[in-house]
Every structure is written in C-alpha cells, then in structure tokens.
C-alpha cells in the first residue's frame, strides 16, 4: 500500500540509519562550511596572507568533483552520510597536495625570485612527494573500496569516495594549483614584488659597482 493511501489516523516515520541520514542531511552544508573555514584560517596564519590560501582551497572542489563522478559511475553506491565523511576527509587530503607546492613557491617568491620561475621550481621539487603520498593513500583505501561482508556498503562508499577524490586531486590539482598561485600572487602582491625585485637589483648593481672600484 502506498504511503499516500494510508487510512486516517495512520502515519509513517523513518528509523535506524535512514532516520540518522535524514537528521544529518540538513547539517551537511554547515559542516562543510565550518571545515573549509577552519582550513582557510590555518592557511592564512601559515602564509600570513588572506589571498594565498585560496590557491590551496581551490584544490578541494577538484577532489569533490572526482568523488561525485566516481559515485555517479557506481550505481550501487549513493551520496549518503558515509560519502559525506569521505568528502570531509578530502578537504585535508586535497589541501595537503596544494600546500606542498604553494609553501615552497611562496618562500622563493618572498626572497625575490620570479613568480613563474619559483612556481616551476616548486612543482619540480614537490612532484615526487605528492605522487608518492597520494598513491600510498589511494592504495591504502582499496581494501575499503573492495570490502565484503557485513557493513561492506558503508566501507565501499567511503573507500570509493576517497579513491576518486584523491585520484582527481592528484592528477588535476598539480596543474591547477600552480596556475592559481601565479594568478593570485600577481594580483595580490604584484606591486610589492616588483619593488622588492627592483630593490634587490639595485643592491646587486651597487655591490657590483663597489667590487669594480676595488678591482680598479
């Protein structure tokens, strides 16, 4: 009998896991917003900047895209509370890959190195750690993705969510994050970087002139 055709005086309600998922559904957006806000504040304190953290946070939607795409191609799985746990985990994992690049690049830029040159150096230096740590984590969640037995669907959902998100964050973010860092840094620190580079050039020219006078 359909729910709409129940006799008068009868009703329906959910119980167990379905009831918990419905209760948690309204708080999902709040949890994501708070998680991203905390990550942003930590990055702002780390880089002492309000703009540079955005180049790291933009790696998070890439990971989320990979997770949602993976769940779409696996019809047996759904975007439930376990998938949401995996997505929250991806916030830190996706940001980790971006931090490895941005942290080194910003240190070089603060020393007066050209933005593009510093970013390319950061990508070349950090590529191996990013690939190694990401592959270790991706392979580590495969037992969850291929779980069997009692509670296997919950483990599969978490495993495939993290697997797809990390795969996308690793393969796409290494191209997107450096580009965003260059654009954001140029927009935010363009004038200051030019003045810093000009000052360093003048100091180098002055040192060279002093050295030439000593030799002469």
Across the 216 residues of the chain, what is the mean pLDDT of every consecutive 10-residue run? 60 62 62 79 79 79 82 77 80 80 81 80 84 85 80 81 85 82 77 58 60 60
What sections of the chain are H helices per DSSP?
16-25, 28-47, 53-57, 59-73, 81-110, 115-140, 142-145, 152-215
Please report the pLDDT score of residue 1 as a whole number.
46
Q: Does domain 34-40+57-207 have CATH number 3.40.50.10440?
A: no
**Distance from CA of residue 137 to its chain's centroid?**
15
Look up residue 119 and give its two tokens: 């970013």
Map residue 155 onto helix, strand or coil: helix
CA distance 7 to 145: 44
pTM of the model: 0.67
CA distances 171 to 31, 50, 62, 94, 119, Å, are 27, 27, 10, 11, 17
How many Cα atoms within 13 Å fall on the side-chain side of residue 141? 24
Residue 132 CA to residue 152 CA, distance in Å, equals: 28
């Amino acid at each position: 009998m359909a729910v709409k055709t129940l006799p008068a005086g009868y009703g329906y309600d959910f119980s167990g896991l379905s009831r918990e998922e419905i209760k948690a559904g309204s708080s999902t957006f709040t949890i994501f917003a708070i998680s991203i806000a905390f990550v942003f504040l930590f990055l702002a304190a780390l880089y002492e900047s309000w703009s540079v953290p955005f180049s790291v946070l933009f790696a998070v939607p890439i990971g989320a895209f990979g997770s949602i795409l993976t769940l779409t191609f696996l019809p047996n799985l759904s975007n439930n509370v376990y998938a949401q746990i995996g997505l929250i985990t991806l916030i830190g994992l996706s940001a980790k890959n971006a931090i490895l690049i941005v942290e080194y690049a910003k240190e070089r830029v603060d020393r007066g190195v050209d933005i593009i040159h510093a970013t390319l150096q950061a990508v070349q230096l950090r590529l191996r750690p990013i690939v190694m740590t990401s592959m270790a984590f991706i392979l580590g969640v495969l037992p969850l993705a291929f779980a069997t037995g009692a509670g296997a669907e919950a483990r599969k959902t978490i495993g495939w969510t993290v697997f797809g998100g990390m795969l996308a964050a690793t393969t796409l973010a290494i191209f997107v994050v450096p580009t965003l860092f260059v654009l954001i840094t140029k927009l935010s620190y363009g004038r200051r970087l030019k003045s810093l580079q000009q000052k360093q050039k003048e100091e180098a020219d002055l040192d060279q002139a002093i050295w030439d006078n000593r030799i002469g």
